[in-house]
Structure formats: structure tokens, C-alpha cells
Chains A and B, each alone.
Chain A
Amino acid sequence: MDIRMAGVTKIFEPDIVALEDIYLNLDRGEFVYLVGATGSGKTTLLRIITREVIPSRGQIVVARRNLRSLRASQLPYYRRELGVVFQDYKLLPHLSVLENVAFVLETIGAPSRVVKDRASTVIDQVGLWRLRDHYPQQLSGGEQQRVAIARAMVNSPSIFLADEPTGNLDLHTSEEIMQLLLSINAAGTTVIVATHDQYLVDAYRQRVVELHQGRIKRDEERGRYFVDGEL
């Protein structure tokens, strides 16, 4: 089991219940859609996995690490096993595409030859090789999203989290992004995609976990969600 949540509840000060009593198990290599309306708790759930947020109650174990008792000194090493695409991308504006991706590897002390090789490979994989020297503000939304994905992929994570990766993209671009995420999953990486893009959920029949006001409303395997979906 790659991710295991038991009774996870998050209450933000003073009394905003973002998540309530979440039980969720994910196997290694699974692909899961996390759906739900805005404010239903998708981002909070992902941030609990990245340990930006600590649950108010309940247990969470990711990659055999108990996140409630994880020591601060271990946190960086835990995060290196994750690849995260943030809802707001968090690209660095004064770094080029290549530098934005290479930055992650430099940050964890990889030798410069490895940095250059690996960053180039990943940028090529997301189809941005010809734009590698461009800066984020020179790119379209879809291209920026690809940079964010390349950056999340670059340290070969075992768990990949994407928060609304198709948020503001047109249909065609969204499909391309989804293909990219599926290919990451095909390589054996556990993938969680938070989205409220109904079309994608319908088109790519995968496991769907739906949140509603911080609770899991349904958790269904491939396709069945499509049948009684009511988003």
C-alpha cells in the first residue's frame, strides 16, 4: 500500500473543517482522480500528502512513512519521493524552462552533468525542447503546465500529485496533459489528479474519489462512477 489514510480530519483555525474522517488506500502504481466542487478539500488532501498540512486527527502513512511522526530532518528526503504539480504551477519567473527544471536537481545536490542530462531528457519528454530557453511568461498556459509537470517528474518520483493540471486549459491541451500523466503512471508511478474537469473523468475511466464538503462521497473503480455520476 503506497498511501494509507485512516480517519484523517483537518480543521483549519478557527473552525473550518476542510477534511473529515477520510479513509483512503492507494496501491503502488494506481491512478486516481480526486474530484469535487471548489472548496471540497481536494487541495488540502494533496497538501496532507506533501506534509504541508498536518491532520488534526487521524493517521496517514505514505511510502511506509508515518507523516504524523515524521522527523523534520527526514521531511526533505520524503519530499524527494514525490512529484507535485501545483495548482498555481509555482514556476520561477526569472529562470528559463531548462533552469526551472534543473533547479530541482541542483537543489538536492545532483552533480551538474546529471542535472543537465536529466533535465534535458524530461523537457524533451514533455515536448518543450525547442522552448527550453524561454521564460515562463513567454509560454502559453499549457506549456507552463508542461514545465510544471517536467519539474515534478525530474527526480523520478514514486508518487505523482497534480492539482487541477487542466484547470484553465482548452480541451485539446487538456487531453495532451492527461496523456502525459497517464504515461507517467504507465511507468509505475502512483498518480493522483485532483480535478473538477468532468470531461476528463468521463473520458479516461479510472478510479474516482469524490469529495463533498470534506468527506468522501464516493470511491469507485473505473467507469462505474460514470454511470451514476452527478457532478
Chain B
Amino acid sequence: MASFRYALRDTFRLIFRHWGLSILTLITAVALFFLLGSSGLFSLNLKSLVADVEDDLVINVFMKAGEDASSLVEAMQDVGFITDLKVISPEKGLELLRAKLGNQAKAVTLLGENPLPWNVQIQVMKADFVTPLVRDLMSFPSVEEVVYAGQLAEKLAQASLVMNRVSIAVLILAITITALVLYNTVKIAIYSKRGEIEVMLLVGATNTSIALPFVLQGMLLSTFGALISVILLAGAYQYVSVMLETTLSFLILIADRLLLMRFYLILIGTGMTLGWLCSWFAVHRYIAEASCPE
């Protein structure tokens, strides 16, 4: 245990001896983990949005101007998988719109006449029924337009796919840069201590005890960087959530605390692992070379 205490002491000496470098490494790690985290959160939210939309089993049918919904409702009467069917008259629609928009609703009636068509909202049992039903509805002569979540879901899914690729690119980039910076920092620390390392090897220090302070140094910087970035990220996420809620009320970010917590923990774990790998790699490469007999 004495060894570990010495190693820990030496780790802090290393970090403070090269404090400028340590701060620079820390800032880099924070920035890159923040980037990594935000792209991950964005992906996660997009995916959850796609899932939400896909789960939306309501089909909105808008009738042509001047046509009412009675014939459609009649035709839908004996379709088994429809669980709910709501007819919204133009007057009712206007009422709902007013309630939703408040004062801004005046603009809608500025034209004088009620511009809204008849609207039928059909809910089906399962997402599988949506597409065939939509095809049927489209063939109705009195139907102007069918709006259903599937369209949106497809578009969102495409966006999500693109975003996933971007996320992966960000992941690779951020990890590579962080790894290089960490590797370099640890290497500089190693070189500043090569006299010690030489003597340590000659007086019988084990490779592990020589490596430990450097490995801890890399791990500490990286983990701390990830930790700070998570704190910043959580704050920013909270801020954006509240902002979206007040301005774009339909866009609700994931608020699942457990999921977010897990995401942040993974980020910190990534920081820890990355720090460990980079410094371990740097120091073992050096020791292997330095301890190789002639």
C-alpha cells in the first residue's frame, strides 16, 4: 500500500509540475467530451422522437373544401382495426385552434371565412395498419389530404440516420484527438522523469510501480475532463429543455433521469478508460524500450 501512496503523491507532483500542460489537457478533454456528449444527446433525442412519432397511430384526414365527412365515416364504419374515429367540423376545428394559439388565433379568421376543412382523426390498433388504410383513404374522391405520422417518421428516421453517422464521426474524431493529447501529455511527463525511471529500473522497481504515477496522471486528467464536461452538459441540457418547452412546446427532450444518468456515467467511464489506455500505452512503450538489455 505504501507503493500506492508514493504513486499517488508522484501523480499529483507530475500534474502540478506541468500545470500549464495539465490545464491545457484538461480543457481539451472537457471540450471534446462536451462535443461528444452533445452529439450523443442529440442522436438520442432524435431517436426517441422517431420512436414517439412511429408510435403515433392517428391518421388525420382532411376533406376537400365543400365536402363533409359523412360518406367517409360511413365507409369506415365496419373496418375492424379502427379503435377510434373523431370527426372535427370546421367550426370545432377553429375553436380548438383558438384555444391552442390564444391571441394569435385572430389571424386565422382575418380572412373572414372559416378556412378550415372537415377533418377526421382515425386511430388504428397497430402501426402495421397505417399504410394500407392510408392507401384506401387516398383513393376516396372527397379526401383532399391524408396526414399521418409515418411520413414524418420516415423523414425523421432519415435525419436520425444521418445524425447517427455524424455522431459516430464526432465520436471517432473526439476520441482520437483526446487520445493523442493525453498520450502526448503523459509522454512529456515521462520524458521529464527519464532520469528517475532509469534509476528506478536499475534499483529494482517493477514496471508496474514505475508506470503507476503516469497511468494515474492520464486517468485523472481524462476522468476529470469528462466529469467537468458532464456537469456542463447536464446544465446546458437542462437549459435547452426549458427553452424548448416554452418556445416549441411540441418538442420535448428526453427527461428520463435514469437514461440521462446512464449516458453521463458512460461518458465519464469513457474518459476513465481512454485516460487509462493512453497513458498505459505511452508508459509501457517507454519502459519496454528503456528496460531492454543490450
Contacts and interface: CB of A to CB of B under 8 A. Distances in A.
Contact of A108 (B199, B205, B291, B293): B205
Contact of B198 (A76, A78, A90, A103): A90
Contacts of A12: 294
A111 B2 contact: yes
For chain B, the bracket of interface size reads 20 to 34
Nearest to B195: A92
Contact of B204 (A52, A72, A86, A108): A108
A77 B291 CA distance: 14
Nearest to B2: A111
Contact of A90 (B2, B6, B195, B206): B195
Q: Which of B2, B201, B204, B205 has the most CB of A within 10 A?
A: B204
Interface in B237-257: none
A107 B205 contact: yes
A77 B198 CA distance: 16
B91 interface: no
Given A80-B204, A90-B195, A103-B199, A112 B2 contact: yes
A90 B199 contact: yes
A97 interface: no
A224 B291 CA distance: 40
A112 B5 CA distance: 10
Contacts of A90: 195, 198-199, 202
B205 A76 contact: yes
A85 to B, nearest CB: 11
B209 interface: yes
A52 B202 contact: yes
Contacts of B291: 72, 75
A12 to B, nearest CB: 7
Interface string B283-294: 000000001011
A53 interface: yes
A92 B199 contact: yes
Interface residues of A, number: 31
Given A50-B202, A52-B202, A90-B195, A109 B2 contact: yes
A52 B195 contact: no
Nearest to B5: A112
A109 B291 CA distance: 19
A50 B198 CA distance: 13
B103 interface: no
A104 interface: yes
A51 interface: yes
Contacts of A107: 200, 203-205, 209
B154 interface: no
Contact of B202 (A77, A79, A112): A79
A108 B195 contact: no
A183 to B, nearest CB: 21
B139 to A, nearest CB: 79
A35 interface: no
A202 interface: no
B3 interface: yes
B55 interface: no
B293 A53 contact: yes
Interface in B163-201: 195-196, 198-201
A202 to B, nearest CB: 31
A151 B205 CA distance: 14
A110 B6 CA distance: 10
A47 to B, nearest CB: 8
A50 to B, nearest CB: 7
A111 B198 CA distance: 22
Q: Which of B2, B196, B206 has the most CB of A within 10 A?
A: B2
Contacts of A52: 202, 293-294
A133 interface: no
Contact of B203 (A72, A80, A93, A112): A80
A108 B203 contact: yes
Interface of B: 2-3, 5-6, 195-196, 198-207, 209, 291, 293-294
10 contacts: A12-B294, A50-B202, A51-B293, A53-B294, A80-B204, A90-B195, A92-B199, A104-B203, A106-B6, A155-B203
Given A78-B204, A84-B203, 12 more contacts: A52-B202, A54-B293, A76-B206, A84-B202, A90-B198, A92-B196, A104-B203, A107-B200, A109-B2, A109-B209, A110-B2, A151-B203
Nearest 9 pairs of A and B residues by beta carbon: A79-B204, A80-B204, A109-B3, A107-B205, A76-B204, A104-B203, A54-B293, A111-B2, A53-B294
